[in-house]
Structure formats: structure tokens, C-alpha cells
Amino acid sequence: MSNKLSNSVPTDREVVLGILNNSEDALNRLYVGYFPMVLQFILNNNGDEDDAKDVYQEAIIVLYNKIKSGDFELSSKLKTYIYSVCRRIWLKKLSQQSKKTNNLSDFEDVVAVEVDFEQHEEKEIQFEKMGSALVNLGEPCKTIIEDFYIHNLSMQDICEKFGYTNTDNVKTQKYKCLQRLKKLFFQS
């Protein structure tokens, strides 16, 4: 019972405030709260559980970015918004797989999310590019770059982690890696 209570869907306000405060708990509850809705939608429209997970996570990212960008206004219920974004994303995926998209079974109301979706697509392209560039970069460059730029480790930490003799060597290594990564990123 207590488990159920903690899993209960948070209010829209709680979610927005939680995301603005980087609260992992709020994100968790949001995630758990609305996943069944999206799962139902995807499963009943020629998708499987993995599709549901991918679509749902993309939708949460869209919502997250929208809230973080600061101009978020609750013009509809979060539930409706998430559902609409998922629906839009799934439509795109269906058409990419050249499956028929004309008669989706809907379970919720739908609001217009076209603008947010287009923004998301651009970001998604950047994300994919960066991801593939990092993969192509190879180790140990990938980890060094990630540690330094994403996990915000200091030169000293990285130096110790990789067993470099001094930080200058790390700096040189990082520079080389970064140059290669830039090349990979901007070329693709």
C-alpha cells in the first residue's frame, strides 16, 4: 500500500517544480506514473515494450527540455501533453518503418505539440551525432572527454584514474581527443 502511494502519479505542479529543482524523485514518480498510459498506446498500435520505452523516454526528454527552457506554461494537463508527444513520436516512427498510420487507437485527448516536436527532432539529431562521434572516437579518448566535460572531473582526477604521470600529459591527451572528436562531430 505504501509502495502504491509513493508510486502514485504526482501532480503537474509537483513535476514541474521537481524538474526545475533537478529532483530525481519527481522524475521517478513522473516516469512511473505515466508509463502505463504510453505502454497501452504503443502496444495497441503495432509496437512492443521496447518501443514504448524509447518513445516514452523521448517524450520525457521533450517535456524536460521544455520545462528547463523556462517558458513552460501548463496549457494542458501534463498527462495529455506527454500522451500527445508520444503519439507524435510514434507516428513518425511508424511512418519510418512504413507501417500504416491512419487508424491509431487513441486512449487520451491529444493537444498540438508540433513545435516542440520539431525542436526535439533537431536536438535528437545533435544527440545522435554526438553519440556516434564519441563511439567512433574510441577509448580512452571517449572516457576522458566524458569525464572531463560531462562528469566534470578535474585534470587531477583524470590523471590519477588513467595513471598518467602528470596533468600536462592529460591536457595534451585531452586536446588531441577533443580535436578528433570535433572533427568527427562537425564532419558527420
Q: Which is nearer to another protein, 11 or 69 (CB)?
A: 69
Q: Which is nearer to another protein, 92 or 129 (CB)?
A: 129
By CB under 8 A, the residues from 169 to 188 that bind another protein are: 171-172, 175, 178, 182, 185-186
Instruction: Determine if 162 is a binding residue for another protein (CB under 8 A).
Output: no
| Per-residue exposure over 44-64, b if at least 16 CB sit within 10 Å of its own CB, e if not | ebebeeebbeebbebbbebbe
Which amino acid makes up residue 89? Answer: I
Q: Which is nearer to another protein, 75 or 102 (CB)?
A: 102
**Which candidate, 119, 106, 8, 107, places its Cα nearest to that of 58?**
119
Q: Which three cell numbers stand for residue 12?
A: 503537474
By CB under 8 A, the residues from 23 to 82 that bind another protein are: 24, 27-28, 31-32, 35-36, 39-40, 43-44, 49, 53, 57, 60-61, 64
Out of 72, 130, 167, 180, which residue is the one contacting another protein (CB under 8 A)?
Answer: 130
The C-alpha atoms of residue 66 and residue 72 are separated, in whole angstroms, by 6
